[in-house]
Amino acid sequence: MRSLSATPSEAYPMEDMTSPDDSPRLIDGFGRAVTYLRVSVTDRCDLRCVYCMAEHMTFLPKAQVLTLEELDRLASTFVDLGVRKLRLTGGEPLVRKGIMELVENLSRHLKSGALDELTLTTNGTQLAQHADRLAALGVKRINVSLDTLKPDLFRRLTRGGDVAKVIGGIDAALAAGIQVKINAVALKRDNAAELPGLIQWAHARGCDMTLIETMPLGEIDEDRTDQFLSLRDVRRELSSYWTLTDLAYATGGPARYAKVEETGGRLGFITPLSHNFCEACNRVRLTCTGTLHTCLGRDDASDLRAVLRGGATDGELVAAIHAAIGSKPKGHDFQVDAPRPAVARHMSTTGG
């Protein structure tokens, strides 16, 4: 892992770190401003999705995982440095003990106007219990992962999950006034034929829908090449009976959006294996152990937990973050048909 001794001025010149209004900014070595932080708050989960985890996962010892206070300090430092959007993920964020306390504490940045958005990505199983509180704390949109509406298939894909709980969670979030985006991983053998129905179901509820190509992250029990479904093919198929109109809407991430004229809903395609989004990439990821990954598709890593637990002052922490951001790579390294995963860590460690 990268050592973080570089001072901000060694990482890049001081004038590059400052916006016109003199607020500090995180600019990487390729001139991209980092304004979006995803924070994995736990590596644990109540499901074991086949493309994400091995059936018998070994989870991290608690001492290695950042405390709620450490998560708050790190996330808040990024906000001070110009991050405008914070997404909590995991593992499953809603199984982390004390998660609502963390959301409540972080919501102070929404109130102060420092943050535009506080959001999370969840599997939805615990959402029904938390939806009202999340809405009250200022969470306006969330992503819920749902690959199928079929109870048997859902149970098999998640190794034991109950799809009714997820649907109940989605309905509770919508009733609380939270916008929900449904994310589905496109799986050639398992849900390819169901995708149009899933899209219609989401759009009928007023939810946007995003399809994700499987990514080669971490060793799992299955062969991923076997399940890989190109979203180019999915789009071609959908276009044979629907009118898809490209939207300019861009998030700085790997999603491209279209409007489905027949349903009136928005449909995103996340194709992380293509390089077409790296240029505008505005995001970095923090694992639950405090490792900062500046690119989802590379093994680059900076250990911010060591900095925190080494007793760093606020200034030293800021310097360490600037040094890490300064070495964000230009682009990723994915190849789905490679014999080994391009990146050894699991998605549940990095956060989706």
Q: Which member of 77, 88, 92, 93 binds ligand SF4 (CB under 6 A)?
A: 92
Other C-beta atoms lying within 10 Å of the C-beta of residue 181: 19
Least separation in angstroms between residue 53's CB and ligand SF4 is 5
Does residue 328 belong to the site contacting ligand SF4 (CB under 6 A)? no
Distance in angstroms (rounded) separating the CA atoms of residues 124 and 169: 5
Does residue 40 belong to the site contacting ligand SF4 (CB under 6 A)? no
Selection from ligand SAM, ligand SF4, none that 217 binds (CB < 5 to 8 A by kind) is ligand SAM
Instruction: Pick out the residues of the known binding site for S-adenosyl-L-methionine.
Output: 51, 91, 145, 215
Half-sphere exposure of 62 (CA within 13 A, CB side): 4
Least separation in angstroms between residue 185's CB and ligand SF4 is 8
Selection from ligand SAM, ligand SF4, none that 37 binds (CB < 5 to 8 A by kind) is none
Stated as kind and residue range, the H or E segment containing 245 is strand 244-246
Selection from ligand SF4, ligand SAM, none that 65 binds (CB < 5 to 8 A by kind) is none
Does residue 90 belong to the site contacting ligand SF4 (CB under 6 A)? yes
Least separation in angstroms between residue 92's CB and ligand SF4 is 5
Nearest to 95 by CA among 164, 158, 45, 167: 45
CB nearer ligand SF4, residue 49 or residue 173: 49
Summarize the chain as % helix, strand, coil (round to 5).
35, 20, 45
Least separation in angstroms between residue 230's CB and ligand SAM is 13
Does residue 95 belong to the site contacting ligand SF4 (CB under 6 A)? no
Nearest to 49 by CA among 212, 205, 197: 212
CB nearer ligand SAM, residue 74 or residue 347: 347
Distances in Å between the Cα of 234 and the Cα atoms of 35, 82, 192 are 31, 37, 8
Instruction: Pick out the residues of the known binding site.
Output: 38, 45, 49, 51-52, 87, 91, 121, 145, 181, 215, 278, 281, 283-285, 295
Q: How many positions of this chain bind ligand SF4 (CB under 6 A)?
A: 12
Contact 282, 25 (CB under 8 A): no
Contact 17, 313 (CB under 8 A): no
Residue 271's Cα: distance from chain center in Å? 14
Distance in angstroms (rounded) separating the CA atoms of residues 93 and 90: 5
Does residue 307 belong to the site contacting ligand SF4 (CB under 6 A)? no
270 phi, psi to nearest 5 deg? -100, 110
CB nearer ligand SF4, residue 231 or residue 288: 288
Instruction: Find the part of the chain contacting ligand SF4 (CB under 6 A) among 47-55, 99-107, 226-234, 279-287.
Output: 47-55
Least separation in angstroms between residue 202's CB and ligand SF4 is 18
**DSSP for 275-312, written as a single string:** STTGGG--EEEE-TTSEEES-TTS---EEHHHHHHTT-
Q: Which member of 32, 38, 48, 181 binds ligand SF4 (CB under 6 A)?
A: 48
Q: Which member of 210, 294, 348, 349 binds ligand SF4 (CB under 6 A)?
A: 348
Does residue 94 belong to the site contacting ligand SF4 (CB under 6 A)? no
CB nearer ligand SF4, residue 145 or residue 210: 145
Distance in angstroms (rounded) separating the CA atoms of residues 252 and 274: 14
Instruction: Pick out the residues of the known binding site for [4Fe-4S] cluster.
Output: 45, 49, 52, 278, 281, 295
Distance in angstroms (rounded) separating the CA atoms of residues 280 and 252: 5
Binding interface with ligand SF4 (CB under 6 A): 45, 47-49, 52-53, 90-92, 123, 145, 348
